[in-house]
């Protein structure tokens, strides 16, 4: 896997201000405001920073939390996890393993078959539709 490394100026020129805040500064969009929280089209959700395929639409489910939620990544090697102790709690942060963009968090309260809920910011994603 080839890592994508860019200067802060390059990230700011590539991403919108909101995308930069979430993907590069570990921000969070407000629930029920992102373009993909209730998105139902078939396709692949990719990293906004580098285009790495992250989640498939057939792993997306309605968690009722206001953010797009998936029960597994397309390839576990495309995401990395780190302990996040901000905001007075301990969570597991999920990032793109190629460009280190912040995606969201993963929680152990998802549906079968994994029991995981990857709670991801829409601003960290792009979407590539698949025509059936």
Choose, from 47, 50, 99, 119, the residue flagged as catalytic.
Answer: 119
Tokens encoding 4 = 């994508």
| Strands of the chain, DSSP E | 43-47, 53-56, 60-61, 69-70, 79-84, 91-96, 102-107, 117-120, 125-129
CA distance 83 to 39: 28
CA distance 123 to 36: 9
CB atoms within 10 A of CB 106: 24
Catalytic residue list contains 119: yes
| Secondary structure (3-state) at 125 | strand
User: Which residues are known catalytic residues?
Assistant: 119
């Amino acid at each position: 896997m080839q890592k994508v490394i860019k200067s802060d100026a390059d990230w700011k020129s590539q991403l919108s201000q909101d995308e930069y805040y979430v993907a590069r500064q570990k921000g969070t969009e407000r629930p029920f405001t992102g373009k993909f929280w209730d998105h139902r089209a078939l396709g692949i959700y990719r990293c906004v920073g580098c285009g790495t395929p992250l989640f498939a639409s057939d792993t997306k489910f309605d968690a009722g939390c206001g953010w797009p939620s998936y029960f597994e990544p397309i390839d576990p090697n495309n995401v990395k996890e780190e302990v996040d102790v901000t905001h007075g709690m301990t969570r597991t942060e999920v990032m793109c393993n190629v460009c280190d963009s912040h995606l969201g968090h993963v929680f152990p309260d998802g549906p079968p078959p994994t029991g995981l809920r990857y709670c991801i910011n829409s601003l960290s994603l792009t979407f590539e539709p698949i025509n059936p």
